[in-house]
Chains A and B, each alone.
Chain A
């Protein structure tokens, strides 16, 4: 039971200080170009917080996966615009 950060991570550091299990490691280029989660230490914040902290502040959709490999923040969940509304939203914004 652990979360995972993948290579769409932008190394913004927001998650690192929030982790109650101290499980988040900064990037170590060139070997590792993005932040990672120590799977042995990650508890998915159970017992500490109602919501997993890293996934609640991560600004990049799809950058954090749950134990099943699903994006915790899927496409459209952070912009507030689901994929099916994308074209319409873009047309509205371009008309401004």
Chain B
């Protein structure tokens, strides 16, 4: 199985690397980042796990064309029910995209970031992408701009990117070995020709690495996305992590392959499987020893709007945006007020937990092998699912939750470590319900999502779901409404530990292997 291929240390004491907040060491606090980097990421929901509880982002779908083919992508991108990368409902002109961004930024004042992520490759549509950025940097200078790319056209556009004040770039890098690349990318369009196979993958990899180096040399923050494809690049992604870290990438985001036959992708149609939650997490932990890992990615649509867990795109169609009457100056002033209030709230939450680091990432360049976790041998590990709509507190009704944040707790007494592991969607990929696929009982689906979890924390929960959760061996808990997530998880963990209701360490380790 995948774990063994990753030379993950077998002993639980050494497992998992030590780059997460779970280590409790001060070295990974946001405050320890250089000030200019801290300022860039601390309110970016996609670059900072803590920020994603508080701030919103949006993508504008201005870039339809693509210059490569990935086996996990279907170039037919229009589906309103699916939620996954590369899917959009309405393609926008740069003018429409600017109007939409300004409308969203006025209606959702938590918004800090505008990204262009497709549905094709933004840098294969440079005029449309750059025209959008140019307008927005003039009209909404407080909004951060970012772009994601497959990297093929990146080296030739790096200077333009820097010119437009885009200081966050995401490159999808699935491999650094052309033989592996040929199993992921059947062809690229390069110098006016279609190139196939290993030769194509080799060119793509060279361009990605060159672009990454050029961006890092210019001080642009780069996040690397990798799609975990079992049996193709799973064992290889540790090497990818190592290589991109050496070049200066800031954050690595390993995402699970989404490959359902109904999506019409090559992998979906051919029956390539995606990784299990456990495989994904094991790989993220294995890479974490080398690099800062991102675990809160929601793999959102190329026209997503709102907080990371939600999509309010339907409120901002072209038609609706055109009908809105917006005072841009007033909207920007309101954003500044809202952001100040959010920061005050974050500071207050932070002061309640002086021992907890505020972030789950560290700058890769400053990453050192931390000291081993303090004696976890006596303390079992347990996972908890949390229902939240944001702000870093438990504030969502169980029945309303479209996703759960998964946290892991371990430790004794005051020394309980809580670390964020993942976000799991309840309605994975598709909100079409009974209209496209067999109708599974919604609660049954939710319970299946919670596999491996011990307790469920929410603001409230009905009697029927309470009974069903208990019958499935889960512990529901609605006693910590409006409390900070990590404190509440630690409290429930301590309670269950005291009652002797947690697995022995050996059993827990076996579960996660």
Contact = CB atoms under 8 A, between A and B. Distances in A.
Judge: A and B partners, yes or no: yes
Contacts of A60: 75
A14 B187 contact: no
Interface string B64-93: 111101000001110000000000000100
B291 to A, nearest CB: 25
A80 interface: yes
Q: Tell me if B's interface is mostly helix, strand, loop or mixed.
A: loop
Given A10-B75, A13-B65, A57-B67, A79 B266 contact: yes
B270 A56 contact: no
B65 A14 contact: yes
A11 B271 CA distance: 26
Contacts of B186: 78-80
A17 B65 contact: yes
Interface in A43-74: 49-51, 53, 56-57, 59-60
Contacts of B230: 96
Nearest to B194: A56
Interface in A3-43: 10-14, 16-18
Most buried by B among A16, A78, A89: A78
B267 to A, nearest CB: 8
A49 B231 CA distance: 39
A62 B196 CA distance: 17
B270 A90 contact: yes
Given A51-B194, A96-B232, A59 B66 contact: yes
B220 to A, nearest CB: 26
A44 B456 CA distance: 62
B193 interface: yes
Contacts of A50: 192-193
Contacts of B187: 78, 80
A84 to B, nearest CB: 15
B64 A56 contact: no
Contacts, number: 76
Contact of A59 (B69, B125, B271, B273): B69
Nearest to B64: A13
Contacts of B75: 10, 12, 14, 59-60
A18 B270 CA distance: 31
B501 to A, nearest CB: 38
B382 interface: no
Contacts of B316: none
B178 interface: no
B466 interface: no
Contacts of A18: 192
A49 B192 contact: yes
Contacts of A14: 64-67, 75, 120, 124, 189
B197 A80 contact: yes
B232 A78 contact: no
B189 A12 contact: no
A90 to B, nearest CB: 5
Contact of A12 (B77, B196, B267, B273): B77
B408 to A, nearest CB: 28
Across the A-B interface, the 8 shortest Cβ-Cβ residue pairs: A96-B231, A10-B76, A13-B64, A14-B65, A94-B271, A59-B75, A56-B194, A57-B189
26 contacts: A10-B75, A10-B76, A11-B64, A12-B64, A12-B65, A12-B75, A13-B125, A14-B67, A14-B189, A17-B125, A49-B192, A56-B192, A56-B193, A57-B65, A59-B75, A78-B186, A79-B266, A80-B187, A90-B270, A90-B271, A93-B271, A94-B270, A94-B271, A94-B272, A94-B273, A96-B273
